[in-house]
Amino acid sequence: MTMSDPIADMLTRIRNANTAKHDFVDVPASIMKLAIADILTKEGFIKGYKSIEDGHIKTIRLELKYGKDKNQKVISGIKKISKPGLRVYAGKDELPKVLGGLGTAIISTNKGIITDKEARKINVGGEVIAFIW
């Protein structure tokens, strides 16, 4: 079965694994998903990720991050903004701030997949992929 929105599937897998307090979550690999995993690692939402290749199937294993015990979640919310039926774009002057700057918006620009803070710094806009806080 083909998937209409693989990024939403990735974010849902992360949200579900975080709610179930799993240590790892596997998602099918793509270049855009690797870029999102890299942002999540740099921003401190996950411990890290590694690409796993089993024959011709490539997956990304994300290691989720928690507080001192698993009752303290680092990711308290994750939401897909731009959907296949309704793309959401933001210009360089109207980039969103998640929770007043406490969260992170993931933006797809002509410079690659970057955070809202990086997009403001290099003065570009683009498609708003997701919010994470």
92-127 tens-digit pLDDT: 999 999 998 899 999 999 999 999 999 999 999 999
Cα–Cα distance, 117 to 133 (Å, whole number): 14
Copy the structure tokens of residue 17.
Answer: 């694994």
Q: Choose among 50, 43, 46, 42: nearest CA to 11.
A: 46
Copy the structure tokens of residue 77.
Answer: 């919310």
Contact 59, 30 (CB under 8 A): no
Domains of the chain: 6-132 (3.30.1490.10)
| pLDDT tens readout for residues 23-80 | 999 999 999 999 999 999 999 999 999 999 888 889 999 999 998 888 888 999 999 9
Q: Which H helix or E strand runs over 15?
A: helix 6-19
